[in-house]
Amino acid sequence: MNNKSSYKYLLSDLTSLKGVGIKTRNLLRKKKINNIFDLLWKLPKSYTDRSISTKVKDLKIGENQTVTVVPQKYLFPRVRNLPNRVICSDETGNLDCVFFNSYEGYVKKILPLGKEITVSGKINHFRNKYQLTNPKYISEDSSLIKQVHNKYSLTEGISEKIYNKIINQIIKKLPLLEEWHSKNILNKFGNISWNKSIEELHKSKNIGKYKDNFYQRLAFDEIFSTFLVNSEIRKKIKKIKKKNKNINLKLQDSIINKLDFLLTNDQAVSLREINKDLSSSTKMFRLLQGDVGSGKTIVSLLAAYNTISSGFQVAVMAPTEILARQHFNLAKKIFPINIKIELISGKSDYKNKKEILNKLKNNEIDIIFGTHAIFQKKVFFNKLGLIIIDEQHKFGVNQRKKLSDKGGRDCDVLLMTATPIPRTLTMTIYGDMDVSFIKEKPKSRKIIKTYSKLESKIDDVINFIRKEIKYGNQIFWVCPLIEESKKIDHSSAVKKFEFLKKLFPEQVCLLHGKIEIEEKEQILNNFLTNKFKILVSTTIIEVGIDFPNANVIIIENANKFGLSQLHQLRGRVGRGNKDSTCILMFKSNLSDNAKKRINILKKSNDGFFISEEDMKIRGFGDILGFKQSGIKNFKLADPIHNSDLFLLAEKEMRRIENSNEGIGKFKPLIKLYDRADIINDIA
């Protein structure tokens, strides 16, 4: 079997396997097992050792035992619902095999009288007799049963016996794949092949051996396939030749000098990196990753201004209309009056929208702000030179690729996220992009003081916010649920709103995900304009918006949130020039992990450090926003436990890129790990 037909076999339909029909295939698909290759990554959780044969007199009640017996007599009752019974024996005693809901013919077929049969299952004792009820393992060929049988997490309707048969069949037929790694890489894993690694992975003696060569090699393959795809996307984007933008630093500095703050060193470095991309003849595809309140928006607007000054249009997309309007207002404030700025809004009437779209098409608008609507098919730009996407950390590789293509040849792409993530995640999730980091906070930004408080001390919290309201400040009060739940003991936003409304009449508003978008925008706007003093909300307030007058946030059931999410929520305050406070409320009897999270948050305001700690505590799949990123599809690799493999993959990828080796020999690897749909020309 050559390499091409080898991976075709591995990616073939499950029905090509013996014993797998349409019904079994559909059951496996429920577990997201769509082909033979997918089955290889459903690993055994434990095993049952049926290899040792026992005599009847030595059977242990309540344990799985294997015994070879001879069926002596059938007892088939005439009364319905009574079980069929077969009296079996060896030279040491008798064992009854009992069958519920089984036909006589089936029982006679599997346990023929006078023949030596091996049976295995959990032994019971009934009326002083050993008994085996509905035994699943019965055969005249004892070698089929006297084995170690792996236990898997099964889909309902598929027995352990059938599943083991399927897996063993695949392992026996496993095609011999040509090696794709260099000798240097193979040496790191004891020169173990892909085939041998798969065989070892499914041996019961190797369950949980994550540090062994076979496991490490397969985890590396998985990581490296992602690096290969990201490298190819980068190459494709870099091949696109565009008109370079002419950056006028004097014009840029005229804007910077008018700001009422100085750029931090990180902001200045990021701006230089973006300007270099804009002024090059290759297309920019960059992520600006910064901590909450680190000043990404001003950097992106300066890049937008440089693009406009070079004769191009700019589109800025935000996740919500209120955030788009906030960016729009900031641009109007800092840009010269000759820059034509527009906002396209869901509230805009048809006539106004049509007028804006016509102006956009005729190059009468320099920069437009809006939500995802600005990239609809009916929206045409005359000379789009830069797309800026704010808070789109849930964009997957495919979506980013389409976005880059949509902008056209001369259009650069800048994505922004305020969700700091560990380096191993950045390398894989954003490996197709260049990345600029803003870790440093503006000097004017005050540290948010963080406290923890028992729920029973709520009166102290109420007294504290009374004082804050007297000083003219506003408060966020965050609850995990919308409605009260009998099953889950979390505070609900509705219940808290009713409670606070009685204490602070006409001063409290409520916000949650079930409220319609237009009403939601109105509530946020009312809070922004200080019509209310307290906003009771679910976690939907965690992204992006500046409320300079809000300087207190209270988070109920803080132990129910991850660290990254708590940090994002805390970042809603401290955006003005006032001292700010975050109060984490919790019930007593906290788990050790909950205590760890609260203590980390109390001692640090660094989002990058917090995200690293969050991943150590919770695992990478639960880090805020990244369940949709695609990295969750990793079957074996883990950015916490396999960080050394991520670094090795990065180093090897750099070596291949620098040597112009090409990825020809890695095509089967990319195909197997289901990354090929992103790179159209990989066959």
Q: For residue 202, is pLDDT > 60?
A: yes
Sorting pLDDT into bands at 50, 70 and 90, what band is 627?
very low
User: DSSP label at 222?
Assistant: H
| Residue 343 CB coordination number (10 Å) | 21
Q: Determine what percent of the chain is predicted with pLDDT higher than 90.
A: 35
Name the nearest CA neighbour of 441 among 600, 296, 287, 272. Answer: 296
CATH placement of domain 51-146: 2.40.50.140
Q: For residue 482, is pLDDT > 70?
A: no
Average pLDDT score over residue span 530-543? 82
CB of 157 closer than 8 Å to CB of 163: no
* Span 327-345, pLDDT tens digits: 999 999 999 999 999 998 7
Which tokens is 26 given? 């559909």
Residue 29 pLDDT: 84
From residue 174, how far is each of 8, 40, 212, 510, 677 by CA, in Å?
12, 10, 21, 59, 24
Residue 624 pLDDT: 42
- Residues 6 or more apart whose CB falls under 8 angstroms from that of 93 comprise 55, 56, 57, 130
Tell me the CA end-to-end span of the chain in Å, nearest whole number: 18
Which tokens is 30 given? 């429920």
From residue 323, how far is each of 316, 328, 416, 514 by CA, in Å?
11, 9, 13, 19
CB of 66 closer than 8 Å to CB of 120: yes
Most confident of the ranges 242-256, 348-362, 625-639: 242-256
User: DSSP label at 448?
Assistant: P
Q: For residue 134, is pLDDT > 70?
A: yes
Average pLDDT score over residue span 28-38? 83
| Residue 489 CB coordination number (10 Å) | 10
From residue 246, how far is each of 181, 275, 286, 540 by CA, in Å?
43, 9, 18, 40
How far is it, in rounded angstroms, from Cα 586 to Cα 596? 13
How far is it, in rounded angstroms, from Cα 131 to Cα 99? 11
Lowest-pLDDT choice from 162-171, 276-285, 460-469, 569-578: 569-578
How far is it, in rounded angstroms, from Cα 288 to Cα 276? 14
Q: Specify whether the backbone of 334 is left (phi greater than 0), alpha (psi in -120 to 50) or beta.
A: alpha
Backbone CA torsion sign across 330, 332, 335, 341? positive
HSE-CB of 163 using CA atoms within 13 angstroms:
23
Q: Determine what percent of the chain is predicted with pLDDT higher than 70.
A: 89
User: DSSP label at 636?
Assistant: S
CB of 315 closer than 8 Å to CB of 388: yes
Strand ranges for 291-433 from DSSP E: 313-317, 341-343, 367-370, 384-390, 412-417
* Span 297-331, pLDDT tens digits: 999 999 999 999 999 999 998 877 878 888 999 99
Any idea which residue has 């690293």 for tokens? 612
Which tokens is 220 given? 């590396």
From residue 130, how far is each of 81, 86, 107, 122 by CA, in Å?
21, 12, 19, 10
Sorting pLDDT into bands at 50, 70 and 90, what band is 491?
low
List, edge to edge, every strand of the sheet that includes 434-438: 341-343, 367-370, 313-317, 384-390, 412-417, 285-290, 434-438
Residue 408 pLDDT: 76
Any idea which residue has 């890489």 for tokens? 185
Which tokens is 168 given? 């063993």
- Enclosing H/E stretch for 611: helix 607-618
Most confident of the ranges 384-388, 397-401, 546-550: 384-388
Which tokens is 516 given? 């319609």
Backbone CA torsion sign across 424, 426, 431, 435? negative
Q: Residue 46 is which amino acid?
A: S
Most confident of the ranges 118-132, 389-403, 412-426, 432-446: 118-132
From residue 503, how far is each of 375, 477, 497, 529 by CA, in Å?
45, 14, 10, 22
Helix (H, G, I), strand (E, B) or coil at 208: coil
Q: Specify whether the backbone of 590 is left (phi greater than 0), alpha (psi in -120 to 50) or beta.
A: beta
Q: Residue 203 is which amino acid?
A: K
Which tokens is 136 given? 């699943």
Residue 633 pLDDT: 61
How far does Cα 414 stand from its chain's mean position? 22
Q: Which residues pair with 584 in a beta bridge?
A: 452, 555
CB of 297 closer than 8 Å to CB of 347: no
Q: Which residues pair with 93 in a beta bridge?
A: 90
How far is it, in rounded angstroms, from Cα 602 to Cα 30? 43
Helix (H, G, I), strand (E, B) or coil at 191: coil
Sorting pLDDT into bands at 50, 70 and 90, what band is 261?
confident
Sorting pLDDT into bands at 50, 70 and 90, what band is 1?
low
Q: For residue 3, is pLDDT > 60?
A: no
Most confident of the ranges 107-116, 450-459, 548-557: 107-116
Name the nearest CA neighbour of 286 among 414, 428, 410. Answer: 414
Sorting pLDDT into bands at 50, 70 and 90, what band is 193?
very high
Residue 593 pLDDT: 79
Q: For residue 48, is pLDDT > 90?
A: no
Lowest-pLDDT choice from 229-233, 324-328, 617-621, 673-677: 673-677
Sorting pLDDT into bands at 50, 70 and 90, what band is 375?
confident
The whole-chain average pLDDT of the chain stands at 84
Average pLDDT score over residue span 559-585? 83
From residue 301, how far is each of 267, 304, 342 by CA, in Å?
12, 5, 14
Helix and strand numbers (H, E) in the chain are: 23, 21
Q: For residue 669, is pLDDT > 80?
A: yes
CATH placement of domain 449-604: 3.40.50.300
Q: For residue 391, is pLDDT > 60?
A: yes
- Enclosing H/E stretch for 5: helix 3-10
How far is it, in rounded angstroms, from Cα 176 to Cα 199? 12
Burial of 94 from C-beta contacts in 10 A (0-12 / 13-18 / 19+): middle
CB of 519 closer than 8 Å to CB of 445: no
CB of 444 closer than 8 Å to CB of 613: no
How far is it, in rounded angstroms, from Cα 271 to Cα 265? 10
Global pTM value:
0.74
CATH placement of domain 249-438: 3.40.50.300
Sorting pLDDT into bands at 50, 70 and 90, what band is 158?
confident
Q: Which residues pair with 99 in a beta bridge?
A: 84
How far is it, in rounded angstroms, from Cα 29 to Cα 16? 15
Pairing status of strand 449-454 against strand 581-586 = parallel
Residue 395 pLDDT: 57
Residue 27 pLDDT: 84
